[in-house]
Amino acid sequence: MKKKGGNKKGGKKNRASIQQDPEDNGVSKMQATTSQPPVSPTVAKSAPSAREEVKKWAARALDKGIQGLREEFGELKRYCPPDMQITTFQAHWDAGRNRYKDVPCQEKFRPLDCTITDFWHMVVQEETETVIMLCNIKEKGMDKCAQYWPLEEKEVKTYGDVEVTNTFIRPLNADEPNIRLSILSVKWKEDGKEKTREVRHYQWIDWPDRGVPPCKLTAMALLSTVRGTKKPIVVHCSAGIGRTGSIVAIEFILERLQQGIPCEAMDEILKELRSQRPYSIQTDLQYLYVHRVMLFYFFEKYKVAVAAEDLQAKYKKFVEDYEKATA
């Protein structure tokens, strides 16, 4: 298979690794949690202002509260970039290569059964080492995604000119049995020579469509595990906006806080995400989940940055209101 031309997407050169310094500036280093050696995590020093930015982010979320955050999301629920171009998406709709008509692909960004081969060509072209899947093949009796990789251990599947072998399957770790890791061996020919790459496929199996999973540190454990790669990471669910937008938002916020970049204006963060993927974060519950996971991480694991008594009291109420909202 010849490598496709065009501009190759580059992985982030300094992917943030949230860390706990000896002085504890309020943002902690997240270590990889796989028993099988993962790619080495990038170790990044937190910016001196990281602790203060964590405090400001947490204070804003708690001052808004559950109702305020719901109202904020409601104002932006259908927001899309004003200059969004979807000409190709519209022109090729009849070809059946898009799952949802109301979830457009932008002109500047590009699996159904008929696109599985394209998917693996993308993985090869972009030198991807990591795929994060946030859905099941079927949910509530409805097709949500094509079976685009060999499901069973030692199973081999051929997709066009790409051969994929599932060499190993296990849970992410003992604490996260709902994330299934498959080590895939991907083979193809390039300029007459056989090439092979290992791809790690992580499937989160208990995150409901348009809903939220239990509030644990599963998202943090998953992001910690994959953060070391410098290659582009493929993240998808069914439509690629709800669950995918939520997990990408969590990482985006963590990276900004790590670097000491102001991040409390979450409505602007949502707009930034949607400038790259329309309708990212699909529901108000997913918007709340992003805040809940971040607050859980900071308050339960790294209290020094947010130890003020007034914040602790507001956090307790936030948790109570969140439990009611998601019951």
Query: Which residues are designated catalytic?
Result: 237
CB burial readout 10-42, b (16+ within 10 A) else e: eeeeebbbbbbeeeebbbbbbebbbeeebbebe
Are 103 and 80 in contact by the 8 Å Cβ rule? The answer is no
- Among all chains, which residue has been given the structure tokens 């990482």? 251
The two three-digit tokens of residue 3, written as one number: 């490598």
Q: Which of 209, 212, 214, 204 is nearest to 285 (CA)?
A: 212
Pairing of strands 176-190, 138-139: unpaired
CB burial readout 220-236, b (16+ within 10 A) else e: bbbbbbbbbbebbbbbb
Q: Which amino acid is at 168?
A: F
Bridge partners (DSSP) listed for residue 185: 165, 198
The two three-digit tokens of residue 172, written as one number: 């992410």
What is d(CA 117, CA 104) in angstroms, rounded to the nearest whole number?
A: 21
